[in-house]
Structure formats: C-alpha cells, structure tokens
Amino acid sequence: MSSVDQNPTAPRPPSSRSVHADSAVIPAFREPPAGRARRRYAIVGTGHRAGMYVDALLKDHADVGEIVGWCDPNPARIDWYDAQAGPGIARSDVDGLERLITEQAVDVVIVTTPDHSHAGIVDRALRAGAGVVVEKPLATDVTGCRTIVAALHDSPGDLVMTFNYRYAPRNSALREVIASGTIGEVTGVHFEWALDTMHGADYFRRWHRDRANSGGLLVHKASHHFDLVNWWLGDVPRRVYASTALRFYGADNAAARGLTGRPERGTGVQGDPFSLDLRTDPRLEALYLNAEHHDGYRRDQDPFAPGVTIDDNMAVLVDYRRGAMLSYSLNAHSPWEGYRVTVNGTAGRAELEVVERGAVLDENVLDPSALQAEAGDPVRPETERLVVQRHWGRAEEVPIPAGIGGHGGGDAIMLMDVFRRDLRERPDTLGRTAGVLDGLRAVAVGIAANRSVADGVPVLVDDLDLGRDLG
C-alpha cells in the first residue's frame, strides 16, 4: 500500500509505519466484477490535502476509480498534479464545477478545499448529480450544515465523511473495549490533545489562522476528536460549554514575550524554529511557493504575524444524551505531540496514551520519521498504549493491531472504504464509515463551543438547528 502524508509537519507514530495491516482492522473486499466501468472522480481543491486521494486513484485503487477532472482556481497546482496523472484530464476553475460534472460524467466529487467553502461546493456537486467525498469538517457554521442537509434531501447523491482517525487501530481498539462492556456503562471521558510547536504552529501559518476560513481549531482540528468520542460512545452531544484563548501565537503574544523583528515569511529564513521554508519539501514548493503568483496565498506565514483570529488553548465540557460527560482540552504549542484519553465506566476504566513525537529536536523537520534516527526521547518515547482495569482487578494492556500510513495507521485503511465500500465482503462491525449525520454531530460540538465562548454560557446542541435531528 502506498500513501501520501496529508500534513508533512504532523508526526507519524510507529503504528503508521507498517506496510501490512493487521487482519483485525483491515476490511476484506471482493474483486471488482470483470468489465465493470471504473467510477469517475473529480478533485475539487488541488492543494496538499488532495495528494492522498490522487495517489490512491493513480495507484492502489486505479482498478476501481479514475480521475477525470481537476477543479481549482490556481492553475499551477493543477499543473503539478496533472504532470503526475498524465494527459487527458479535464480542468476547471470553481465556477465551472457543474459543467465539469456534466461534461465528464463525474460520479463522485472529492472535496479538499478550505473549510469555509465545503458547504457551497458540496451543495453544488450534489445538485449537479454527483456523490461527494468530503474532508473534515463537514462545514464551519450552522448555515453551512443546513445547506448540505437540504442538498442531500433534494438530490439522489450520497455523502461520505473522511474521518480517518476512526480507522487508526489504537482508536478502533478503544471502541471495541467500550462496546464489549468491559468497563461497564461509560460515565465520563477525559480527552487531552497536544499539538507540538512544529505541527501546532502550522495552523497559524496557513489559511486556518483566520477564523472565517476554518471556524477555529475547535471546528477544523477538533472535529476529528469530537467525532471519535461520539463514535466511541455511540451517543449524541447534548450540551456544550467552552473557554478558549490565544495565549502563544499571534502578534500581541509575540510582542509581550519580546519576539520582535519577526520574518514576514518562513522561506529563506535560517535559524528560526517557527519558520517553515517551503523549499525543503518539493511538494510544498510546487503547490504553494511556485503557485503563489496566481492567487497571492502564502503557505509559510509567520505564526506570530498580525491576522491570527483563532485560539491556541481550548477547554470544552460536553454532556451526552445518555448521561456521559466529556472534558476536552487542546493545546497548540506543546513541546511534544500526542494525546491521552481516559474513559471511566461503572465497572472500570480504560486509558489510551499516544506519543506521536516526544520532542521537536530540529528545526524544519517536515518528516518526523527522521527523528527516529535520533532514537526519540528516552523519557518520552514515541509509543501508543491501551490499558484497561476493572474494579477490584489488576491493570491489563490491550494489544493494538498494526495499521498502514498516516493518522495513526488509518489513512490507507480508510481509503479502501472510500473507493471500495460497495465491494466489502461483510459489514464493518466497528462502524467506521462516516456520513452526513456523523459530520453534523462532530461539528455541532465545535460550533456550539464557539457560540459558548462568544456568549459565556452553555449551549444546547438542539438549539443550533443544524437542519435535522442528530439522534
């Protein structure tokens, strides 16, 4: 299996470096029927995020799908992918999406554009007769959610959410523990996510730094995490209270700490651990540095430059319909990267600890696997561990199966479901495939949290009125 890392600044833990996934987590698929036409895909948004899907359709899943259209306002980014795919693929700007779908008989549109544009593109693709595969988050606000729900109601197409963290074997293992009843009925979850100063800073270099584009990290990043909790519990969020702050990145914080004379951008800067030089990664150089003359977008902005409107410290409390409570925290300037999940139940407790990168020891390390040569951090080694302890019993470690590719070994397994789900030999007992309802439940927490921060009060999820009941 091949894979393209969706974010070159994100750590890749040991479980993601396997080339053969464990049979406990990898689905079984039939061969496609002889003579069956390949499904026709259009890629909308040809930035770095698109690479995983492009690579999959050109290699591992070329027997079941083909790329027939590119759609992006930046021609240089299309040129880069076009050179890999070969001649004959139609191209369009975003205004020509419907025409592209019609002329190329597109079956499915894959949406990998900035978050704020998801709802409009999904709406147009569905109404033009195509199905949709959309990156998280589903949408960034209530209006976007309602737009997508209405489009699905009015059109025959379907929608697949790509929540790849569901497919990470460590997360699947925790779901199995909870579903087995080993720890009884869940009463509460504590979920702490730490982004280090390489990966975390990256959200403050890119378009994500503007809340209008991303909805902030509680929508963009944490929708992954809220989906995991919803999925682990098999439950629906009911009430949300949140507190957030921008305490590390941004111009004001830099000035308060005496970080003056900051570079305007990272490319060409030497000796600054917060600067990203796009020339160190050929893909980033081609897709952004060599393409910015078309649209002015800079992928390597200084995370301490003016214009940051998102927060870097977040705390959220969530009540679920069946009574469980979630306490969640996200920090974007940690010296190490990973997460800790504690699930308390009426019969015991489960604890999942993941260290994806024990320390950022070099500046501009885009491929964290390079850190392995330094043997990592002896005090905080890169690891993942799931421990279960029942009341009146000793703690036991639960084995975590091997996965493939990025996002904890989940990416390649998820892509099998995206491109071959109609060929599954049996249903997925883990229920990892996600649709619009899962997407709504995930962003509902982040949207409600943002509203809670603005108003200073708890927010009932049902009061958001996202277009349909989330139950």
31 secondary structure, DSSP code: P
| Dihedral in degrees, nearest 10, Cα atoms 234, 235, 236, 242 | -100
Burial of 184 (0-12, 13-18, 19+ CB in 10 A): middle
What is the domain-level CATH number for residue 91? 3.40.50.720
Give dist(CA 91, CA 78) in Å, integer.
Answer: 8
Task: With CA atoms as reference, report the closest residue to 11 among 251, 359, 311.
Answer: 359
For the cut 90, the answer to whether the pLDDT of residue 409 exceeds it is no
What six digits make up the tokens of 423?
A: 């060929």
Domain assignment of residue 181, yes or no: no
pLDDT surpasses 60 at 369: no
Rounded distance between C-alpha atoms, residue 76 and residue 346, angstroms: 56
Mean pLDDT for the stretch of residues 208-219: 98
- State how beta strands 313-320 and 237-245 pair: antiparallel
Cis peptide bond upstream of 137, omega within 30: yes
The pTM is what?
A: 0.93
The string of pLDDT tens digits covering residues 41-94 is 999 999 999 999 999 999 999 999 999 999 999 999 999 999 999 989 999 999
Query: Span 148-171, mean pLDDT?
Result: 95
Q: What pLDDT, in 10s, does the model give residues 173-203? A: 999 999 999 999 999 999 999 999 999 999 9
Quick check: 304 pLDDT over 70?
yes
Model pLDDT, residue 14: 46
Q: Which residues pair with 242 in a beta bridge?
A: 316
Asked if residue 7 has pLDDT above 80, the reply is no
- Mean pLDDT to the nearest integer, 385-395: 98
| Distance from C-alpha of 24 to C-alpha of 429, rounded to nearest angstrom | 11
| Structural domain includes residue 403 | no
- 3-state class (DSSP) for residue 1: coil
> Across-strand partners of 318?
240, 326
Q: Is the pLDDT of residue 364 over 60?
A: no
Predicted confidence at residue 25, as pLDDT, reads 75
- Read off the pLDDT band of 101 (50, 70, 90): very high
Confidence band (pLDDT; 50, 70, 90) for 16? Answer: very low
Supply the pLDDT for residue 93.
96
The DSSP annotation for 448-464 comes to HHHHHHHHTS-EEGGGG
Looking at residue 374, what is its pLDDT? 44
Two tokens, residue 261: 């004379």
Alpha helices in 203-351 (DSSP H): 211-214, 217-220, 222-233, 251-256, 282-284, 292-295
pLDDT tens per residue, range 421-451: 999 999 999 999 999 999 999 999 999 999 9
Domain for residue 368, yes or no?
no
Provide φ and ψ at 245, rounded to 5°: -160, 155
Q: Is 50 exceeded by the pLDDT of residue 250?
A: yes
Phi, psi of 328 (to 5 degrees): -130, 140
Q: What percent of the chain has pLDDT over 70?
A: 90
Which amino acid is residue 146, in one-letter code?
A: R
Query: Per-residue confidence at 405, pLDDT binned at 50, 70, 90?
Result: low
Closest listed residue to residue 222, CA positions, set 319, 167, 140: 140
pLDDT surpasses 50 at 225: yes
Sequence-distant (6+) residues with CB within 8 A of 107 are 39, 40, 41, 130, 131
Q: Is 371 among the domain residues? A: no
Mean pLDDT of 388-401: 96
Query: What total number of domains does the chain contain?
Result: 1
| Residue 233, in any domain of the structure | no
Query: Which band of pLDDT confidence, cut at 50, 70 and 90, is reported for residue 10?
Result: low
CA distance 262 to 169: 41
pLDDT on residue 402 = 73
What was the pLDDT predicted at 27?
Answer: 83
Q: Is the pLDDT of residue 5 over 90?
A: no
| Residue 367 backbone phi and psi in degrees, to 5 | -105, 100
Per-residue pLDDT at 370? 35
The answer, yes or no, to whether residue 375 has pLDDT greater than 70, is no
Is residue 1 scored above 60 in pLDDT? no
> Average per-residue pLDDT in the chain?
91
Q: What is the pLDDT of residue 67?
A: 98
What is the structure's pLDDT at 54? 97
Residue 433 lies in a domain: no
User: Is 466 inside a domain boundary?
Assistant: no
> Strand 313-320 relative to strand 348-357: parallel, antiparallel, unpaired?
unpaired
The parent domain of residue 61 ranges over: 14-164
> Would you say 136 and 217 are in contact if contact means Cβ atoms under 8 Å apart?
no
**Assigned domain for 90 exists:** yes
